[in-house]
C-alpha cells in the first residue's frame, strides 16, 4: 500500500503544531527573571526571597522565573493603587470606558500571542486558549467598557470601593484576570492582583499591554508570588475588597481573616457539578457535551461536570458511547491544534488527582481509561471514568479537579435532583433532556448558580457566574457582578429623619426567678415564635425586658442554642414558602400590614411605653413600618431577574432565587420598624427566616408575632427567638443549614458573625456597628435589601432546530 492509501484508511491526524517562536523570543528577553508591575513600572522585589520557576507542564521546561512579592512590595502596590484611586474614580465614566475599550482592542490584537503563551504556561490546548479563553477576555473588557460608560446613569446610587485586592487561580489565568479586573476598574476602583504561582506569565504580559494603552500608573498593579503574597494582600488594612477564586479551604481562611475588617468579599470556590442525562436526551449530543464538561481544560475547571448522573435505562448505552468517544481521544502536545486534551498544570496537581482516583478505587470504584497514546514525559493524565461509585465514596463528594468522571445512576427525576443536590457545593449543573418542561423543572430545583440545559460550560460577560453553598458567594459578570465592586453612595438620604440614637440604658438581665432589675414583676412571659406556634424557651429560662427607663416591662423567653436549632429546623421544613408564587407572598405581606394597621393605637402605645419613643416618634415609626410592608409587598413580584442574550444562539434566564433559610439579627433602634425592614424583604424574596429581635426591646417583636399569627403566614416562614443578641447570632452563624445571615449590632458582633460564617461559606451582611437611618427610604429599604436576600441563578437555554432551517434559517 502506498502512503496515500494508508493515510486514507487510517484517517489519523497529522501533527499540527502552533508556532511559538515569537513567544519564546519574548520569554528569552526575560531570562534573568520577571519583575513586579507596580505604579506602572517594572520593579524588583524589595527583599529578595528567591524566585518561582514557571514551567511548561507539557515538557517540564522552565519558561521563566517569577518574583516573589513580599510584604513591602504589596504595601508599595497598595500605596500606588490608593494614590491613583482619587483621579481614576473621579474620571467621567466615558473616560474609563475608553481605557477598557483600548484594553479589549489590545487583547484582540495580541490574541495569538496570548493564546500561545497561556498554552505554554498552563498546558491547556491551543484550541481552547485561542477559541475560548482569549476571545472571552476581550469580551469582558468590551462588556465592562459598557458599564463604565453607563454607570452614572444606570447606577446613580452606587460608588466605587477604593483599592481592591484580587487573587486568582491557575486554571484560566488570563480569563480570571479579566473577570476580576474589568468590572473592578469599570466601577472606578484600582487593583492589586496576584496571579497563581504556576501561571503568572500571561498576567505579566497583560501588564505590558496596560503600558501600551497608557493606562494611568497605579490603576492596575500585578504582584506575583505564592500563598504568602496572597495573604499580605488579604491582610492589608487599606484594601476595601478581596475577590478570590481558588480552593474552598483557602476561601474559608480568607473569610476568617477578613472577618470584622469591613472588607467586602467575594469567593468563587470549588465545585462538583452534576451532569444529568435523562432517558429522553439526545445521547450523541450529551456525549459531546460531556467531553466539554469534564475533559475541557483537563477537567481543571471549577464548574466541570464531574459527576455524571444517568437514568438507569440508558446508562449502559451511554457508557458505551462515552467509551467509544474516548477511544478516539487525543491527549498530547497542547500546542497541537488537533489535540483534545493537554497537560495537567503541575506535578503536584497530577499527584493529587492520582491519589484521589486511587482512594476512590480502594473504596470500591471501578476505573476505566481508554487504550490511547499518552506522552510518557510531561504532566499528562488519561481521561478516566469511575463507575460503581456509591454516595459514601470519597470521589463522590471530593473535587478531583482533573479529567476524571464519576458515574452514578438514578431512576426518577426526584432521585436525580436529590443526588445532584447531595453535595456541599453548588456551582453549576448541566441537564440533558429533550423535554423542556422536565429540564426547566429540574433547573429550578437544583441548588447551583449556573444551570446549562442541553449545553455545558457556556460563559459570557453579560451572564453572572458564581456559586451557591460552599462554592462561594458573589457573582462575576452581568449587572450583579458590577454590584460586587460598588457600594451604596454615601451621604444621600432621601427622607428627613436622623439616625435614632442607640439608647444606652442597662441591658436586660437573665435570671430564672422572675425578678426584674428594679421594676415590678409583671406576670407575663412572652414566648418564642417557632413553626407558627408560641413556644417556651427550651431551658425554661426567661429574661426581664426593661423599658427605656430601665424599669421591668415584661418577661421574654431567654433563647438558647436549642431554640435556634428548633427555629432553623422549622424554617428548613417551610420550603413551600420559597416555591410559593410572588403574588401569594405579596398578598400575605399586604395582609400583615392590614392586620398591623388595625392595631395602630396599641403598637404606638407600646413603642412609647417599652422603647421610650415620643408620641410623634411612635407615630412616625408605626407609619414607616406600615409603608415598609407595603413596599415589600410591592417588590415581591417586581424584583425580577433578566433574560440575557449571549452569543451562540442561547438565552440565559437570570432568575433571582431566595438564599433559603436566613438568620436576621435586629438592632435596638426603632425596634418595630427595624425588625420589619429586615424581615419583609427577606420573606418577600421567598426566604424563610429566623429572627432575633432587638435584645433591648423584645416586647415589640413578641407583640408583632401575634399579627403574624393572624395573617396566614405559613408555619415556619418567620420564626422569632428572643434573647442575647450576640450569643444567638453566633449560633446562627455556625449553623450549617442557615444559608445567609444579616446582623445589626456591634462591630465586635459583626466580626464574630463573619468569622463563624466561614464554616459553610455563608453569605453575611453585617453593619460593622454602624447605625442605619431606618426611617429613610434610601437607607432603610430598597434594592440593596432585595439583592442581599437573593442569589442569581443563570439558566442557559440553547435554541435552534436543524429541521426548521438550521443555522440562522428561520
Which residues bind to ligand NAI, rule: CB under 6 A? 167-171, 194, 196-197, 226-227, 230-231, 234, 245-247, 250, 253-254, 269-270, 302, 349, 352, 399, 401
Backbone CA torsion sign across 574, 576, 582, 585: negative
Residue 42 Cβ vs ligand NAI, minimum distance, rounded to whole Å: 20
Q: What's the CA gap between 216 and 202, in Å, rounded? A: 20
Judged by beta carbon, residue 248 or residue 409, the one nearer ligand NAI is 248
The residue assigned the cell 435586629 is: 666
Residue 121: exposure state from Cβ atoms within 10 A (0-12, 13-18, ≥19): buried
The residue assigned the cell 506522552 is: 375
Residue 268 Cβ vs ligand NAI, minimum distance, rounded to whole Å: 6
Distance of CA 271 to the CA centre of its chain: 12
Judged by beta carbon, residue 203 or residue 319, the one nearer ligand NAI is 203
Residue 738 Cβ vs ligand NAI, minimum distance, rounded to whole Å: 23
Residue 253 Cβ vs ligand NAI, minimum distance, rounded to whole Å: 5
**743, β-bridge pairs:** 665, 766
Q: What's the CA gap between 79 and 801, in Å, rounded? A: 55
Residue 170 Cβ vs ligand NAI, minimum distance, rounded to whole Å: 6
Q: What's the CA gap between 52 and 33, in Å, rounded? A: 9
Judged by beta carbon, residue 306 or residue 542, the one nearer ligand NAI is 306
Judged by beta carbon, residue 306 or residue 650, the one nearer ligand NAI is 306
Q: Up-side HSE of residue 505: CA atoms within 13 Å toward CB?
A: 21
Q: What's the CA gap between 724 and 539, in Å, rounded? A: 14
Judged by beta carbon, residue 142 or residue 170, the one nearer ligand NAI is 170
Judged by beta carbon, residue 233 or residue 544, the one nearer ligand NAI is 233
Helix axis angle for 671-684 and 699-709, nearest 10°, is 40
Judged by beta carbon, residue 353 or residue 570, the one nearer ligand NAI is 353
Residue of 35, 118, 231, 268 marked catalytic = 268
Here the cell at position 330 is: 487525543
Residue of 302, 303, 666, 790 marked catalytic = 302
Residue nearest ligand NAI (C-beta atom): 230
- The 10 Å CB-count burial string (b at 16+, else e) for 543-579 is bbbbbbeeebbbbbbbbbeebbbbbbbbbeebeebbe
Kindly report the three-state secondary structure assignment for every residue of 109-146.
HCHHHHHHHHHHHHCCCHHHHHHHHHHHHHHHHHHHHH
* Active-site residue, 55 included: no
Judged by beta carbon, residue 121 or residue 547, the one nearer ligand NAI is 121
Here the cell at position 107 is: 487583547
Q: What's the CA gap between 398 and 248, in Å, rounded? A: 11
Judged by beta carbon, residue 247 or residue 609, the one nearer ligand NAI is 247
Residue 327 Cβ vs ligand NAI, minimum distance, rounded to whole Å: 27
Asked if 399 and 272 count as a contact pair (C-beta separation under 8 A), the reply is yes
- The 10 Å CB-count burial string (b at 16+, else e) for 744-782 is bbbeebbbbbbbbbbebbbbbbbbbbeebbbbbbebbbb
Residue 111 Cβ vs ligand NAI, minimum distance, rounded to whole Å: 23
Judged by beta carbon, residue 52 or residue 636, the one nearer ligand NAI is 52
Residue 273 Cβ vs ligand NAI, minimum distance, rounded to whole Å: 11
CA distances, 584 to each of 636, 683, 709 (Å): 9, 11, 17
Asked if 258 and 288 count as a contact pair (C-beta separation under 8 A), the reply is no
Q: Where does 141-273 show beta strands of DSSP type E?
A: 158-160, 163-167, 190-194, 220-222, 241-245, 264-268
* Active-site residue, 759 included: no
Q: Any idea what DSSP says for residue 526?
A: E
Element (H, E) at 349: helix 347-362
Residue 760 Cβ vs ligand NAI, minimum distance, rounded to whole Å: 16
Q: Which residues, other chains included, contact 358 with Cβ-Cβ below 8 Å and sequence gap of 6+? A: none
Residue 254 Cβ vs ligand NAI, minimum distance, rounded to whole Å: 6
Catalytic residues: 268, 302
Amino acid at each position: 500500500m502506498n502512503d496515500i492509501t494508508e493515510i486514507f484508511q487510517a484517517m489519523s491526524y497529522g501533527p499540527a503544531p502552533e508556532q511559538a517562536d515569537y513567544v519564546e523570543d519574548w520569554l528569552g528577553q526575560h531570562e534573568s527573571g520577571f519583575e513586579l508591575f507596580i505604579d506602572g513600572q517594572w520593579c524588583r522585589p524589595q527583599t529578595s526571597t528567591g524566585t518561582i520557576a514557571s514551567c511548561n507542564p507539557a515538557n517540564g521546561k522552565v519558561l521563566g522565573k517569577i518574583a516573589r512579592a513580599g510584604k513591602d512590595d504589596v504595601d508599595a502596590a497598595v500605596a500606588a493603587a490608593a494614590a491613583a484611586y482619587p483621579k481614576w474614580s473621579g474620571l467621567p465614566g466615558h473616560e474609563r470606558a475608553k481605557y477598557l475599550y483600548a484594553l479589549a482592542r489590545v487583547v484582540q490584537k495580541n490574541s495569538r500571542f496570548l493564546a500561545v503563551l497561556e498554552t505554554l504556561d498552563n498546558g491547556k490546548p491551543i484550541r481552547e486558549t485561542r477559541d475560548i479563553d482569549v476571545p472571552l477576555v476581550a469580551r469582558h473588557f468590551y462588556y465592562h467598557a459598557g458599564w463604565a460608560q453607563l454607570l452614572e446613569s444606570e447606577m446613580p446610587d452606587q460608588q466605587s470601593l477604593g483599592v481592591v485586592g484580587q487573587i486568582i487561580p491557575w486554571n484560566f489565568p488570563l480569563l480570571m484576570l479579566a473577570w476580576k479586573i474589568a468590572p473592578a476598574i469599570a466601577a472606578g476602583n484600582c487593583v492589586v492582583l496576584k496571579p497563581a504561582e504556576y501561571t503568572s506569565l500571561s498576567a505579566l504580559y497583560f501588564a505590558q499591554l496596560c503600558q501600551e494603552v497608557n493606562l494611568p500608573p497605579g490603576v492596575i498593579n500585578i504582584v506575583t508570588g505564592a500563598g504568602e503574597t496572597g495573604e499580605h494582600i488579604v491582610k492589608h488594612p487599606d484594601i476595601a475588597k478581596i475577590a478570590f477564586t481558588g480552593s474552598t479551604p483557602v476561601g474559608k481562611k480568607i473569610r476568617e481573616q477578613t472577618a470584622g475588617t469591613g472588607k467586602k468579599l467575594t469567593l468563587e470556590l470549588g465545585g462538583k457539578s452534576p451532569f444529568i442525562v435523562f432517558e429522553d436526551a439526545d445521547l450523541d449530543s450529551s456525549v459531546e457535551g460531556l467531553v466539554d464538561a469534564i475533559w475541557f481544560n483537563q477537567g481543571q475547571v471549577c464548574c466541570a461536570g464531574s459527576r455524571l448522573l444517568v437514568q438507569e435505562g440508558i446508562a449502559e448505552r451511554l457508557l458505551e458511547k462515552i467509551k467509544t468517544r474516548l477511544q478516539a481521544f487525543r491527549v498530547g502536545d497542547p500546542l497541537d491544534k488537533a489535540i483534545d486534551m493537554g497537560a495537567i498544570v503541575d506535578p503536584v496537581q497530577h499527584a493529587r488527582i492520582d491519589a484521589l482516583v486511587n482512594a476512590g478505587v480502594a473504596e470500591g470504584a471501578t476505573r476505566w481509561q481508554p487504550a490511547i497514546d499518552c506522552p510518557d514525559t510531561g504532566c499528562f493524565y488519561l481521561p478516566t471514568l469511575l463507575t460503581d461509585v456509591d454516595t459514601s465514596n470519597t470521589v463522590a463528594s471530593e473535587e478531583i479537579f482533573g479529567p476524571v468522571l464519576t458515574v452514578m445512576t438514578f431512576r426518577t427525576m426526584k432521585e436525580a435532583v436529590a443526588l445532584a443536590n447531595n453535595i456541599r457545593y453548588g456551582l453549576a449543573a448541566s441537564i440533558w433532556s429533550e423535554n423542556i418542561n422536565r429540564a426547566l423543572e429540574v433547573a429550578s430545583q437544583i441548588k447551583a448558580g449556573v444551570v446549562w440545559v442541553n449545553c455545558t460550560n457556556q460563559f459570557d460577560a453579560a451572564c453572572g457566574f458564581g456559586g451557591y453553598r460552599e462554592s462561594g458567594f458573589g457573582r462575576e459578570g452581568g449587572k450583579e457582578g458590577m454590584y460586587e465592586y460598588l457600594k451604596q453612595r454615601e451621604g444621600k438620604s432621601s427622607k428627613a429623619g436622623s439616625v435614632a440614637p442607640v439608647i444606652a440604658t442597662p441591658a436586660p438581665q437573665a435570671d430564672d426567678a422572675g425578678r426584674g432589675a428594679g421594676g415590678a414583676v409583671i406576670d407575663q412571659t412572652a414566648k418564642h415564635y417557632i413553626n407558627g406556634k408560641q413556644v417556651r424557651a427550651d431551658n425554661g429560662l426567661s429574661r426581664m425586658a426593661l423599658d427605656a427607663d430601665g424599669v421591668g416591662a415584661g418577661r421574654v423567653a431567654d433563647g438558647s442554642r436549642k431554640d435556634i436549632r428548633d427555629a432553623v429546623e422549622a424554617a428548613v421544613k417551610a420550603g413551600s414558602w420559597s416555591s410559593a408564587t410572588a403574588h401569594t407572598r405579596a398578598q400575605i405581606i399586604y395582609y400583615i400590614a392590614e392586620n398591623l394597621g388595625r392595631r395602630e393605637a396599641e403598637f404606638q402605645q407600646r413603642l412609647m411605653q417599652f422603647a421610650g419613643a415620643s408620641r410623634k416618634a411612635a407615630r412616625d415609626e408605626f407609619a414607616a413600618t406600615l409603608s415598609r410592608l407595603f413596599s415589600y409587598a410591592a417588590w415581591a413580584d417586581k424584583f425580577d431577574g433578566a433574560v440575557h442574550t449571549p452569543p451562540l444562539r442561547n438565552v440565559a434566564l437570570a432568575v433571582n432565587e431566595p438564599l433559603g433559610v436566613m438568620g436576621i439579627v435586629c438592632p435596638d433602634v426603632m425596634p418595630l420598624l427595624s425588625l420589619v425592614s429586615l424581615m419583609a424583604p427577606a420573606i418577600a424574596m421567598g426566604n424563610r427566616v429566623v429572627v432575633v429581635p432587638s435584645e433591648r426591646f423584645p416586647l415589640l417583636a413578641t407583640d408583632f408575632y401575634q399579627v403574624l399569627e393572624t395573617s396566614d403566614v405559613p408555619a415556619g416562614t418567620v420564626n422569632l427567638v428572643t434573647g442575647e443578641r450576640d450569643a444567638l447570632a453566633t449560633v446562627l452563624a455556625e449553623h450549617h443549614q442557615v444559608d445567609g445571615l444579616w446582623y445589626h449590632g456591634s462591630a465586635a458582633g459583626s466580626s464574630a458573625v463573619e468569622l463563624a460564617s466561614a464554616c459553610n461559606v455563608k453569605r453575611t451582611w453585617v453593619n460593622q456597628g454602624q447605625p442605619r437611618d431606618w426611617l429613610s427610604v434610601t437607607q432603610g429599604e430598597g434594592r440593596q435589601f432585595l439583592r442581599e436576600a437573593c442569589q442569581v441563578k443563570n439558566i442557559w437555554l440553547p435554541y435552534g432546530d436543524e429541521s426548521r432551517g438550521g443555522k440562522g434559517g428561520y
